[in-house]
Chains A and B, each alone.
Chain A
Amino acid sequence: MKIHIRNGHVIDPANGIDRAADVFIAKGKIVGVTGGNPRGDGAAPPGFEANATIDATGCIVCPGLVDLSARLREPGFEYRATLESEMAAAAAGGVTSLACPPDTDPTLDEPGLVEMLKHRARLPEFAHVYPVGALTINLEGKRLTEMAELAEAGCIAFGQANTPVLDTQVLMRAMQYAATFGFSVWLQAQDPYLAKNGVAHDGEISARLGLAGIPVVAETIALATILHLARETGVRLHLTRISSADGIEMVAAARATGIDVTCDVAVHHLHLCDQDIGFFNPHARLDPPLRAAADRDALRAGLASGAINALCSDHTPVDDDAKQTPFDEAEPGATGLELLLPLTLKWAAEMQLPLATALARVTIDPARILGIGGGTLSAGAAADVCVFDPQAPARISRETLKSQGKNTPFLGQELKGRVRCTLIEGHLAYDGAFA
């Protein structure tokens, strides 16, 4: 199969491409990106004869999105979502690679489970799945998992999802063991004692609404512990879902002293803050909590400057029964695969950022954290491509969302940026023309 994507505007941040150009694909790989004259097709590589042409007039053509956190809910939570539903959501959102956290049931602490997940996810229209293995058995923070075996089965890093390791000795040994094999450790920084019973950012809003608070120090104290242990062990560290201005500063300071650390932020936290809880909207119950407006602004600026390395959807489908409850009983999380692109564009527009900078945060930058080859349109790379119309309205509704999780604070809103088609290794995984 040879595909010619013509008349589009190609943005490939990794290669510094940001111009009108054509993309040529053969055998599931990028053959080349040519053109650049104001009008007219790029010249096909010698001997290239397309069997299919995609007209990308008015559209941006970029590498498929790489999402550092998408819960597929398999195994164990199939009533919330299935691989099929969430893969359809990924493709509709232009996401072609995703990392899934280990908080499934059972947790991803056994090579067999990882192999099964990889096997189930192997269909050509499915995004590439990169499991994050459990750092400790059953995420209990007591015994190390067989990391080397898990890596052979397909895990690209080891983490704890949202469950902290209480015992700092275990945490240090887990980091040492991971460092032995050169594996990355992904951790979310939240002190469980300071966060105990908390459901919202500790501040004016939680005081007014009478919601138990999670103070910023819950993040910074955990960060201090984790960063010190990372320095001690030399492990490659990735911090997931930074939520506060203080947290960003600590990570930047640690990096300046030579600690090998990256971090990401969830797309909801770029746009929302604790005020968006409104009248106890359970869709605004997230983990980590939405923090103050000043924190949100720091996250937006930190992602723009690169202090925060990547943006992810933190896709967490939750069924209605677990959301249609009082705020403090609602299960945290929001569906995100289909909102990642429009919310990235919204952030870029509001910050007046070049589109190439914004798209880097959801393509090449997360791909580097994953340590996979994706996130580019380089010749020879897998033909994972997203074609989207940046101006087309995307209505976020229960009907339009393909994810089984309809839980998003943006429900009922219209955002800009609609995926026209998604290619995964040259396979047409999503065709928005018929959607």
Chain B
Amino acid sequence: MNRNPQLNAHGELQHLITLEGLSREILQGILDTAEPFAEVAEREVKKVPLLRGKSVFNLFFENSTRTRTTFEIAAKRLSADVINLNINTSSASKGESLLDTVDNLAAMQADMFVVRHASSGAPYLIAQHLAATGREHIHVVNAGDGRHAHPTQGLLDMYTIRHYKKDFTRLTVAVVGDVLHSRVARSQIHALRTLGVPEIRVIAPRTLLPSGVADMGVRVFQDMKEGLKGVDVVMMLRLQNERMQGALLPSPQEYFKYYGLTPDKLRLAKPDAIVMHPGPMNRGIEIDSAVADGSHSVILPQVTFGIAVRMAVMSMLAGS
């Protein structure tokens, strides 16, 4: 298990499970590959035949509409056959284990699994199981696992930043919100570091920060106004409903007051700062509508770019 399990023996991407440990060349290669796919979306016929005849299984053990849909669109634009499976937790209660499910679907001649799972590391387990059973030709794409990683989200965020800001090596980027529970934040931080962003800030109350967060190469701010000063990019994180009241936070109102992104707070950032959010947004909790719909917001372009980035990842893994 010393070799990064998502790389093959030649150091090429076999699976996409996390952005951690991937080189700048690999990350830039994915972003470069995504560029022409963004143009495909502008055409009248939005299809290319790169995955013709391949079967992509969307394996969602946790609910998601947006991510699953964008993966589905991406695969279809690459001419793949797409099968959507919402397995939820009910299959576990029926007694079928994760690996049994995987074995059954692999027997249906899958070429790629796009996996979302509530447990951190689940895609590794699947990739290792496929390798151990001689089916390493089936690719695994992580569509979000627990708190661990959401690599295609991280990549589409990098694509968005590059689109608007060009050069990563002069930027100050702030990640704001529930870092503790966020797979998105972890993927963003790894990618920003690899791509050479000199200052990465995280802004959150202590209850929403993992204790080892400073070891990830970020500057930690508890005061949002301090943290936003002079930043080029503000990346907001979603706050899950169940975390708004209880032992982590007292109330959504207080959270919005101190950590919600309002026009006032945004004025502390650079005048040309962009505002991002992985969606779905909680308006009035982590972000003010005036910001979400305002001139700094690139939230909808993120969604569009997400399709191109996912096309790039799938074609690089399984393209003929």
Contacts and interface: CB of A to CB of B under 8 A. Distances in A.
A357 interface: no
A321 B124 CA distance: 17
B20 interface: yes
A177 to B, nearest CB: 35
A328 B146 CA distance: 10
A244 to B, nearest CB: 14
Closest 10 CB pairs of A and B: A280-B121, A210-B147, A326-B119, A207-B212, A207-B210, A210-B148, A204-B212, A204-B215, A210-B120, A326-B122
A207 B120 CA distance: 11
Interface in A197-247: 202-213, 215
B65 interface: no
Given A203-B212, A205-B212, A210-B149, A324 B122 contact: no
Nearest to A328: B119
29 contacts: A203-B211, A204-B216, A207-B211, A207-B216, A208-B20, A208-B212, A209-B121, A209-B148, A210-B120, A210-B145, A210-B186, A211-B120, A211-B147, A213-B211, A278-B1, A279-B4, A279-B121, A280-B124, A321-B97, A324-B97, A324-B99, A325-B97, A326-B120, A326-B122, A326-B145, A327-B119, A327-B120, A328-B120, A328-B121
Interface in B28-82: none
B183 A210 contact: yes
Contacts of B5: 279
Contacts of A324: 97, 99, 125, 129
A176 interface: no
A267 B76 CA distance: 52
Interface of B: 1, 4-5, 20, 97-99, 117, 119-122, 124-125, 128-129, 145-149, 183, 186, 210-213, 215-216
A281 interface: yes
Nearest to A193: B247
Interface-central residue, B4, B148, B183, B216, by most chain A CB under 10 Å = B148
Given A204-B216, A205-B212, 7 more contacts: A207-B211, A207-B213, A211-B147, A215-B211, A279-B121, A279-B124, A280-B121
Contacts of B117: 326
Interface-central residue, A208, A210, A212, A281, by most chain B CB under 10 Å = A210
Nearest to B2: A278
Nearest to A292: B212
B38 to A, nearest CB: 30
Nearest to B183: A210
A249 interface: no
Contacts of A205: 212
Interface-central residue, A279, A325, A329, by most chain B CB under 10 Å = A279
Interface of A: 202-213, 215, 278-282, 321, 324-329
B311 to A, nearest CB: 26
A215 B213 CA distance: 14
A34 to B, nearest CB: 50
Contacts of A207: 210-213, 215-216
Nearest to B127: A279
Contacts of B210: 202, 206-207, 213
Nearest to B209: A207
Contact of A327 (B1, B121, B211, B213): B121
A280 B98 CA distance: 15
Contacts of A204: 212, 215-216
Interface-central residue, B121, B149, B186, by most chain A CB under 10 Å = B121
Given A207-B212, A215-B211, A325 B125 contact: yes
B186 A208 contact: yes
A191 to B, nearest CB: 15
A207 B146 CA distance: 12
A202 B180 CA distance: 12
A210 B18 CA distance: 12
Contacts of A210: 120, 145-149, 183, 186
A218 to B, nearest CB: 12
B213 A280 contact: no
Nearest to A202: B211
Contacts of A202: 210-212
Contacts of A211: 120-121, 146-148
Nearest to A326: B119
A318 to B, nearest CB: 14
Nearest to B215: A204
A60 B48 CA distance: 71
A325 B98 contact: yes
Contacts of A280: 120-121, 124-125
Contacts of B4: 279
Interface-central residue, A208, A211, A321, by most chain B CB under 10 Å = A208
A8 B111 CA distance: 60
A423 B167 CA distance: 72
Contacts of A279: 1, 4-5, 121, 124, 128
A321 B122 CA distance: 15
A148 B4 CA distance: 55
Given A210-B120, A279-B1, A326 B211 contact: no
Contacts of B211: 202-203, 207, 213, 215
A211 to B, nearest CB: 5
B7 to A, nearest CB: 12
A413 to B, nearest CB: 12
Contacts of B213: 207
B186 to A, nearest CB: 6
B98 A326 contact: yes
Nearest to B98: A325
A213 B215 CA distance: 15
B216 A208 contact: yes
Contacts of B20: 208
B179 to A, nearest CB: 9
Nearest to B122: A326
A326 B123 CA distance: 8
Contacts of B121: 209, 211, 279-280, 326-328
Contacts of A327: 119-121
B212 to A, nearest CB: 3
A208 B146 CA distance: 12
Contacts of A329: 119
A207 B122 CA distance: 17
Contacts of B215: 204, 207-208
